[in-house]
Amino acid sequence: MTQTTAITEAITTLLDAENRFGFVRVEDEQFFSEWYEGLPEITEEEKASVDVLRRRYLYHRAGGDLLEGTVMLLLVSPILALTGFYDPPFRIKAESSVELILNDGEEILRGRIDVLVLQDQFWVMVLESKKTTLSVWSAVPQALAYLMANPNLHKPVFGMVTNGDDILFVKVTQINTPQYDLSRVFAPFASTRELYSVLQILKRIGQVISSVL
């Protein structure tokens, strides 16, 4: 009998993700160089826009913890717009359903991706957000599961996870063995420069994806 489980219930730790999908973490700097190497410059106008959205986020954050939807509105959506992911050739899908079939069909994992960025049929990025009371690390196992649902196994796919205060990037490849690695944690809550770096990384990922297609 097939058992259906929510990804949020089945995959709660990195160990869960590694055991269920055979993930291997690659701690080789060249595997995930996109988050620190060849980053594009950002203009003074872009910096000014980042400054505005950070001030807005901090204003609302000062009033208390923020829910996922508020984090998306105040931080995630504006930063995706600034980095061009709302414009051609990319397309956005919110609350996109995914289904993973495991153990020869005996188990099905289902979930919803907060934001899925597509270029044609290729998944460019999966974004998973949490409310500010939860650690950004709590979103990583689920993001890995969602990234495994990428239908194009021969190309890399990226993830971004955030609770608003912190942002972390993920890269996954599925050629032969599923592999992943993580960036450092960026903390826009602490410094504007951290959010500048996030902007540069997102722009770089957009460039990389466009060049490999």
| DSSP bridge partners of 111 | 98
Mean pLDDT by 10 residues, the chain (213 residues): 83 92 92 96 96 96 91 92 91 85 79 83 72 84 90 87 92 92 94 96 90 60
pLDDT of the residue at 166: 93
> What per-residue string of b and e applies to 155-174 under the rule 16 or more CB within 10 Å gives b?
bbbbbbbbbbbbbbbbbbbb
Distance CA 176, CA 96 (A): 26
Domain locations along the chain: 3-212
pTM, whole model, 2 decimals? 0.91
Of residues 29, 11, 27, the one with CA closest to residue 128: 11
pLDDT number for residue 62? 94
pLDDT at 127: 77
CATH number of 3-212: 3.90.1570.30
Taking residue 151's Cβ as centre, other Cβ atoms within 10 Å add up to 9
